[in-house]
């Protein structure tokens, strides 16, 4: 059974997009030398942040491909998969 999870306020859930196993020249990169990717796909978003009694919606939506900081977010496991939960402020931009 799939877990239903909705982030609160201005938080988003992101699934990292894994990098290639090889370089363009064909060299295979071992797991120990890989850095964690800084690109991800938004899985779910909260309703927005509260300001002056109003809810301001987020600038990203589920399905957006984003770029985030190297140490952004908190790692969580949902349905056996690694995800990140982070505030909208940790997102650097949307890749179009």
Phi, psi of 16 (to 5 degrees): -60, 145
Q: Which domain holds residue 61?
A: 11-17+31-95
Residue 3, domain member (yes or no): no
State how far the Cα of 2 lies from the Cα of 17, in Å rounded to an integer.
21
Domain count, the chain: 1
Provide the whole-model pTM.
0.74
Mean pLDDT throughout 10-15?
A: 90
The CA distances from residue 9 to 1, 28, 31, 48, 50, in Å, are: 26, 41, 35, 5, 7
Residue 5, domain member (yes or no): no
Here the CATH number for the domain that contains residue 78 is: 2.30.33.40
Q: What is the pLDDT of residue 34?
A: 55
Token look-up 């952004």 returns 72
Residue 6, domain member (yes or no): no
Q: What is the pLDDT of residue 86?
A: 92
Residue 22, domain member (yes or no): no
Residue 60, domain member (yes or no): yes
Q: What is the pLDDT of residue 1?
A: 35
Q: What is the pLDDT of residues 14-71, one digit of tens each?
A: 988 876 555 556 666 665 555 666 889 999 898 888 888 898 888 888 899 999 888 8
């Amino acid at each position: 059974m799939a877990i239903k999870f909705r982030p609160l306020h201005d938080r988003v859930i992101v699934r990292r997009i894994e990098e290639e196993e090889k370089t363009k020249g064909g060299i295979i990169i071992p797991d120990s030398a890989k850095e964690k990717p800084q690109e991800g796909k938004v899985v779910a978003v909260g309703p927005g942040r509260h300001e002056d009694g109003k809810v301001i919606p987020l600038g990203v939506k589920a399905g957006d491909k984003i770029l985030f900081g190297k140490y952004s977010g908190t790692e969580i496991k949902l349905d056996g998969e690694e995800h990140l939960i982070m505030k909208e402020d940790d997102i650097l931009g949307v890749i179009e």
